Chains A and B, each alone.
Chain A
Amino acid sequence: MFYCREKKGSLNFKASDVLVFVTLVLAFVLLFAASQAFAEKTQIKIGVIGPMDYMQGRHHWMGAEMAAEEINATGGVYLDGKQCSIELVQADSNEMKSIPDAIGVMERLITSNEVDFVVGGFRSEAVLGMQDVASRYKKIFINVGSGHPQLTQRVNEDYDKYKYFFRLGSCNMELAEQIHLAALKMVTDAVTRELGIKKPKVALLGEKLMWVDPTFELIKDHAAELGIEVVGEWRPSYSSNDLTAEFTGIKNAGAQVIYDIASGPVAQTFSKQWGEMKIPAAAIGINVPAQDSEFWKKTNGNVEYEAAWSTFPPVPMTERTLPYIEKFKKINNTAPSVYSQTYEAVYILKKAIERAGGNLDADRVVQELEKTDHVAAVGRIRFTDRDDKYTHDMRIEPGYVTTSFIQWLDEAQVCVWPPPGGEWKGVKYEGTEYYKLPPWVVAYWKDRE
Chain B
Amino acid sequence: MLIQILITGFVKGGIYAVLVAGLSLMFGVARILNLSYTGFFMLTAYMVYIFSNFTSVPLIIACPLSILGTTILGVVSYRLIIDRVKAHELTVMIISLALSMLFQEILLIIFSGDFRGIPPFKEGFFELGGVRVAYQKIFTIIVSIGVIGALEFLLARTRLGVAIRAVAQDRETANLMGINVNRICLITTGIAMALAGIAGVMVSPLLPLEPHMWIPPLLVILAAIVLGGLGSLKGSIIAAFILGYVETLVVFLIPLGAYLQGAFVLGVMAAVLIIRPEGLFGLVFEEERL
Q: Which residues of A contact B (CB under 8 A)?
A: 51, 53-55, 58, 96-97, 207-208, 232-242, 244-249, 251-252, 265, 267-269, 272-273, 276-279, 289, 297-300
Contact = CB atoms under 8 A, between A and B. Distances in A.
B208 A235 contact: no
A248 B112 CA distance: 33
Contacts of A53: 108, 112-113
Contacts of A237: 258-259, 261-262
A410 B229 CA distance: 51
A248 B116 contact: no
B116 A298 contact: yes
Given A233-B256, A245-B247, A245-B248, A276 B8 contact: no
Interface stretch (B66-74, B123-131, B168-176, B184-192): B123-131
Contact of B258 (A51, A58, A234, A239): A234
Nearest to A265: B208
A384 to B, nearest CB: 32
Contacts, number: 119
8 contacts: A208-B259, A236-B258, A237-B258, A244-B8, A246-B251, A249-B252, A272-B117, A278-B132
B216 interface: yes
A208 B4 CA distance: 24
Interface of B: 1, 4, 8, 11-12, 15, 108, 112-117, 119-120, 123-125, 130-134, 137, 206-208, 210, 212-213, 215-216, 247-248, 251-252, 255-259, 261-262
A299 to B, nearest CB: 6
A193 B286 CA distance: 69
A349 to B, nearest CB: 28
Contacts of B213: 241, 265
Nearest to A270: B208
Contacts of B208: 241, 265, 268-269, 272
A241 B255 contact: no
B130 A246 contact: no
B12 A242 contact: yes
A265 B115 contact: yes
A273 B119 CA distance: 12
Given A236-B259, A239-B216, A248 B114 contact: no
A235 B259 contact: yes
A410 B131 CA distance: 28
A273 to B, nearest CB: 7
Contacts of B112: 53-55, 58
Contacts of B262: 237
Given A236-B261, A265-B207, 11 more contacts: A53-B108, A53-B112, A53-B113, A234-B251, A244-B133, A245-B248, A246-B251, A249-B251, A268-B117, A289-B115, A298-B117
Contacts of A273: 134
A300 B258 contact: no
A278 B255 contact: no
B206 to A, nearest CB: 7
Nearest to A300: B119
Contact of B256 (A58, A234, A244): A234
Contact of A241 (B108, B131, B216): B216
A268 B259 contact: no
A276 B109 CA distance: 30
A220 to B, nearest CB: 12
A276 B248 contact: no
Contacts of B4: 248, 252
Contact of B132 (A54, A97, A268, A277): A277
Contacts of B210: 265
A279 B259 contact: no
B11 A235 contact: no
Contacts of B120: 276, 300
Contacts of B256: 233-235
B257 to A, nearest CB: 7
B131 to A, nearest CB: 5
A234 B256 CA distance: 5
Contacts of A248: 4, 8, 130-132, 252
A269 B208 CA distance: 6
B1 A252 contact: yes
Nearest to A239: B216
A289 B130 CA distance: 30
Contacts of B119: 300
B11 A239 contact: no
Contact of A235 (B130, B131, B212, B255): B255
A16 to B, nearest CB: 56
A247 B216 contact: no
A239 B255 contact: no
Contacts of B113: 51, 53-55, 96
A53 B109 CA distance: 8
A78 B256 CA distance: 53
A58 B116 CA distance: 16
Contacts of A299: 117
B125 A277 contact: yes
Contacts of A297: 117
Contacts of A55: 112-114
A233 B12 contact: no
B115 A298 contact: yes
Given A241-B206, A278-B125, A246 B255 contact: yes
A244 B258 contact: no
A96 B15 CA distance: 27
A246 B258 contact: yes
Contacts of A242: 12, 15, 206
Contact of A240 (B255, B257, B259): B259
A210 B80 CA distance: 45
A114 B120 CA distance: 50
A247 B132 contact: yes
Contacts of A276: 120, 123-125, 134
A14 B112 CA distance: 60
A350 B143 CA distance: 60
B123 A300 contact: yes
A377 B210 CA distance: 31
A231 to B, nearest CB: 10
